[in-house]
Chains A and B, each alone.
Chain A
Amino acid sequence: MGRTAPSLRMGVEGELDRLRKIFSSIEDPELREAALESLESAVKLYNAFQRSPSSDPLEVILFSLIVELYRRLRKSCGR
């Protein structure tokens, strides 16, 4: 119940806030827009990760992005 260490939700939200700050500082406007937009998919696997959470909240974010990318690739390949 998050007595000492943050819960997965707090960890993920913390990481997202940190990444938003980082991505907002990207100089290239196109890259910046793409990076910030990618964060919209960054918690898609959050609920599933609760089944067996890791101590590293970045896992949720990275796998959410990778799986979302894979899904779009599959779609564009007509699968």
Chain B
Amino acid sequence: MWALDASLERGRILLRMLRGDGRGLENIYVDARYRGYIDPKIDAEKLLSKIEEHPSIEKAWIEEWLQPPYYRSWRKIIAFEVRDPRKINEIHSRVEILGLGVRVNTYPGLVQSTLHRLGIPVLTRLRGDLGVDEDMKDPLYQPPPIKWAWVRLLAWYGEALSRKSRVVGFEIESPEGVSRGSIDKLFEAVEDLNPHMILYRGPFEEIIDRIARSKGSIFVHMKGVPIGVYGLLEWCRISYTIPRIAGRYSIGRVLTSIEALRAFEKRYLVPHRPAGYAETMRRVESLPLFDRGGYVMKPEPGIYFGVVQIDFSSLYPSIISRYNISPETVNDPSCSNYIEVPEAMHRICMERRGLVAEVMEDLVARRQEIKRALDGVNPHLRRILDERQEAIKWILVASFGYLGYRNARFGRIDSYECVTAYAREIAWRAMDIVRSMGYKVIHYIVDSAFIETGRVDRVEAEDIARIIERATGFRARVEAIYRWLIIPPTARGGGASNRYIGKLLDGSTKIKGIEPIRRDTPPIVKKAWIKAIEALSKADTEKELRERAIEALEEFKTVEKTILSGSAPLEELVITRTKEEEITQVIRHRRFYPATSKRGYSPRYYLKRLESLKKLLLYITQPI
């Protein structure tokens, strides 16, 4: 069976268990005491004797924990246990108000830390005695047989994401498929499915919660990152968080939870509030040298033929893991075995494994194992594994940002500078080796290199990736091979990083940072772009590109005329905007007005939105 949900009660935890046959949810009570920790401001023994007097405290004792920032010295901490979880906060507050100590080890949260301490992992197969019945480290685990239902409420324009939306229908996705209906049939539809867990993302959570409660289902209100249900289950498993809580979590919260639980295992004290360790003093003129991100090359605008895009896999997390970068390992004054970071004025201690480095190593390895297993599996399993690796990817993406954030519990800017320094070093090594082979690097952005080979040859592309791997020591892969790649000029004349259109080997196009992929692009502009790109995608050579661009320009002039004449259909001019999950739909006339009013439009505004397309087509028609 699997633990799907947990609630803290006086003296026990209520676990909602999914049975092995996947039928219903069963309630199991587990005897439990809840633990609090206090870092004393007075003598530890004295504080212990005071705390023991509190009537709610069943047990109190002194423990030794390693204290931040470098976790070198031991500190005496008071630990205590209570039956009533609400008493923890009360005791902590009292101690703090009296100035006797501060609460610590309060993160990730009482449910998680208690389950972790009792050895009851979430969504992991357990025996009848609640012992673990599978390898917790195995990322290819069989998902629990949860009957889940993902509810989406619909307005006339699509998903109802605004509280002001008029909800007219619903869509429910479950392992069986997708069902739809009018809103008055929602309850029946949920009843028919009889799910263990109902997930919902949107503003009407109280309605779905009520439905879930009436059915005895667990309600998960999804906020934050758009991961799927199997991604959520993965997050829950690796962070000891129940789905009901994990659904509300940001990526950073999941990451910090994993780090905090690892810190507990190492006996590292986790402060209640991040200490906000300031960086060391430095001269202002040194900032441009050290306070930098990854290398971003300013590309020359142009049209390039035969371009290979090589990406490093999980570069920053791999750097963190490889070079043992963690807040406590960077510039540790007590360390005698360290490495110097190139061009960063920092040192990294190699005497012991850094907490963040260790967590990153495990997550990178886990993700890689899942990705390897993706080949040759059936579509259903593919979806599950893909969502899992995507969920881990989000954590890896956030890990670097949190590492550099001083208000994160495991973050310091010095660590961040180490990572970017190594990333730049790796970028230069990669570019040097590629140039020494006679290729031209037309663009590089952080962990992605665009190399002009002049040929469309997968074998050659793979060879380049392997050479880069050997030269840098980091995994690289061929992300794309372009028959042609257009880097349009900006208003200032140069190219912009990460702004391009390319035709891939299979004939499809890849667009980055250009108008049609913006969410607020009106349909008329989007369609003009799509038509133009479709025309361009038929070309393979320089001559063909120019010819197609000329054709597309003619088509473009037709659209221009339609807009200028005032006869463009209003539904083609609607701009959909999202602000804090509130969607509005407007049309521009003298100013923006609600689309339902249908008061006409400003041709000048919409022509301006089309200007970048016109500029691009004119650019392509010029001789290269």
Contact = CB atoms under 8 A, between A and B. Distances in A.
Interface of A: 1-9, 11, 13, 40, 43, 46-47, 50-55
B278 interface: no
Given A1-B293, A52-B343, A7 B428 contact: no
A47 B288 contact: no
20 contacts: A1-B292, A1-B420, A3-B291, A5-B287, A5-B288, A6-B288, A7-B288, A8-B288, A11-B288, A43-B298, A43-B494, A46-B298, A50-B295, A50-B297, A51-B428, A52-B289, A53-B292, A54-B289, A55-B285, A55-B287
A9 B490 CA distance: 15
Interface residues of B, number: 20
A54 B292 CA distance: 12
A2 B291 contact: yes
B622 interface: no
A53 B291 contact: no
Chain A binding surface, main DSSP class: loop
Contacts of A55: 284-289
Contacts of A51: 424, 428
A7 to B, nearest CB: 7
Interface in B342-372: 343
Contacts of A4: 284, 287, 291
Given A43-B494, A47-B298, A55-B286, A7 B343 contact: no
A7 B298 CA distance: 14
Interface of B: 284-289, 291-293, 295-298, 343, 420, 424, 428, 492-494
Contacts of B295: 50
B226 to A, nearest CB: 26
A5 B291 contact: yes
A55 B293 CA distance: 15
Nearest to B420: A1
Contacts of A53: 288-289, 292
Nearest to B289: A53
Q: List 9 tightest A-B contacts by C-beta distance, closest first.
A: A55-B285, A5-B287, A1-B293, A55-B288, A47-B297, A53-B288, A8-B288, A46-B298, A47-B298
Contacts of B492: 13
Nearest to B441: A47
Contacts of A46: 298
A1 B298 contact: no
A50 B292 CA distance: 10
Nearest to B492: A13
A55 B286 CA distance: 7
Contacts of A3: 291
A1 to B, nearest CB: 5
A41 B584 CA distance: 46
Given A43-B298, A43-B494, A51-B428, A5 B293 contact: no
A1 B286 contact: no
A1 B285 CA distance: 14
A72 B480 CA distance: 37
Contacts of B424: 50-51
A26 to B, nearest CB: 21
A7 B285 contact: no
Contacts of B287: 4-5, 55
A1 B446 CA distance: 13
Given A1-B292, A50-B424, A51-B424, 6 more contacts: A4-B284, A5-B288, A8-B288, A8-B292, A9-B298, A47-B298
A7 B292 contact: yes
Nearest to A4: B287
A5 B287 CA distance: 6
Nearest to B284: A5
A4 B292 CA distance: 11
Nearest to B493: A40
A13 B493 CA distance: 12
A11 B292 CA distance: 13
Contacts of B420: 1
Nearest to B294: A1
Contacts of A54: 288-289
Contacts of B297: 47, 50
A40 B428 CA distance: 26
A16 B256 CA distance: 43
Contacts of B292: 1, 7-8, 53
A38 B291 CA distance: 31
Contacts of A47: 297-298
A40 B493 CA distance: 9
Contacts of A43: 298, 494
B195 to A, nearest CB: 44
A8 B289 CA distance: 9
B597 to A, nearest CB: 42
Contacts of B428: 51
Contacts of A7: 288, 292
A11 B285 CA distance: 12
Contacts of A5: 284, 287-288, 291
Nearest to A40: B493
Nearest to A8: B288
Nearest to A3: B291
Given A51-B428, A55-B285, A55-B286, A1 B291 contact: yes
A8 to B, nearest CB: 6
Contacts of B286: 55
Contacts of A6: 288
A63 B567 CA distance: 55
B426 to A, nearest CB: 13
Nearest to B413: A3
Contacts of B288: 5-8, 11, 53-55
A24 B494 CA distance: 20
B491 to A, nearest CB: 12
A46 to B, nearest CB: 6
Nearest to B293: A1
